[in-house]
Chain A
Amino acid sequence: QVKLQQSGAELVKPGASVKLSCKTSGYTFSTSYMSWFKQIPGQSIEWIGMIYAGDGGTGYNQKFKGKATLTVDTSSSTAYMDLSSLTTEDSAVYFCARDWGVMDAWGQGASVTVSS
């Protein structure tokens, strides 16, 4: 079955960067899209951006341009998201999800806490 396994929780200092991973299985990663989302607990969900694994083409929410960078490694069927220049406002749970316009499979989420 389709599985998206995300990396673990991160505690990082302000100004640092963090790289989250999303390892997939159970479907053809190289011809699919992956989106990433941010959710502060108790709040709604924000779309950060998406990447097409076939050619690495990306599209970002303007709000997250310069903050997030999406990449893929098709040899390991893994998607990555780099978050840079972290502030306390970046503390949230981040999800990856298979994207065909709707998200039919999600990772379990990765908590990022930005604190000195």
Chain B
Amino acid sequence: DIQMTQSPASLSASLGETVTIECLASEDIYSNLAWYQQKPGKSPQLLIYDASSLQDGVPSRFSGSESGTQYSLEINSLQSEDAATYFCQQHHDYPYTFGAGTKLELK
């Protein structure tokens, strides 16, 4: 199975700041990576697919990038509603696998 190593496990940031979350794939996944946001008691919501494509309706302050097998999610100009847990997911091969998650807290 492809392992997705996500970091950091948690972070705290202030409104208006920029944060970056990373996922390292254990092998080449050819940009087949998605990012999801999940709030407590809710289902995950797709933010980014194919490493850098923004899902319809998602604010442009969310962006994705890649460098080799390292994938990043950047959130600019943090808003209060961005407090959530974020997961990466590879869909290059079965079984789909997810990162462990990053819990983002707003100060």
Residues on A close to B: CB < 8 A? 35, 43-47, 59, 61-63, 95, 97, 101-104, 106-109
B52 → chain A, closest Cβ, in Å?
Answer: 13
Known: A44-B100, A106-B45. 15 other contacts (CB 8 A): A45-B87, A45-B98, A46-B98, A47-B94, A47-B95, A47-B97, A47-B98, A61-B95, A62-B95, A101-B32, A102-B46, A103-B89, A104-B46, A106-B44, A108-B42
Q: List 26 A-B pairs, Cβ < 8 Å.
A: A44-B98, A44-B99, A45-B87, A45-B98, A46-B98, A47-B94, A47-B95, A47-B96, A47-B97, A61-B94, A61-B95, A62-B95, A95-B43, A95-B44, A101-B32, A101-B91, A102-B46, A102-B91, A103-B34, A103-B36, A103-B44, A106-B43, A106-B44, A107-B43, A108-B42, A109-B43
Residues on B close to A: CB < 8 A? 32, 34, 36, 42-46, 49, 55, 87, 89, 91, 94-101
B22 → chain A, closest Cβ, in Å?
Answer: 15
> Can you name the residue of chain B whose Cβ is closest to the Cβ of A64?
B95
A33 → chain B, closest Cβ, in Å?
Answer: 11
- Bound complex: CA of A107 vs CA of B45, how far in Å? 10
> Can you name the residue of chain A whose Cβ is closest to the Cβ of B50?
A102
- Bound complex: CA of A45 vs CA of B91, how far in Å? 14
- Bound complex: CA of A101 vs CA of B43, how far in Å? 17
Residues in A whose Cβ lies below 8 Å from that of B96: 35, 47
- Bound complex: CA of A71 vs CA of B46, how far in Å? 25
Residues in B whose Cβ lies below 8 Å from that of A102: 34, 46, 49, 89, 91
Q: Which of B32, B44, B55 has the most CB of A within 10 A?
A: B44
Residues in B whose Cβ lies below 8 Å from that of A44: 87, 98-101
In the complex, the answer to whether A108 meets B101 with C-beta atoms within 8 Å is no
- Bound complex: CA of A43 vs CA of B96, how far in Å? 16
A67 → chain B, closest Cβ, in Å?
Answer: 14
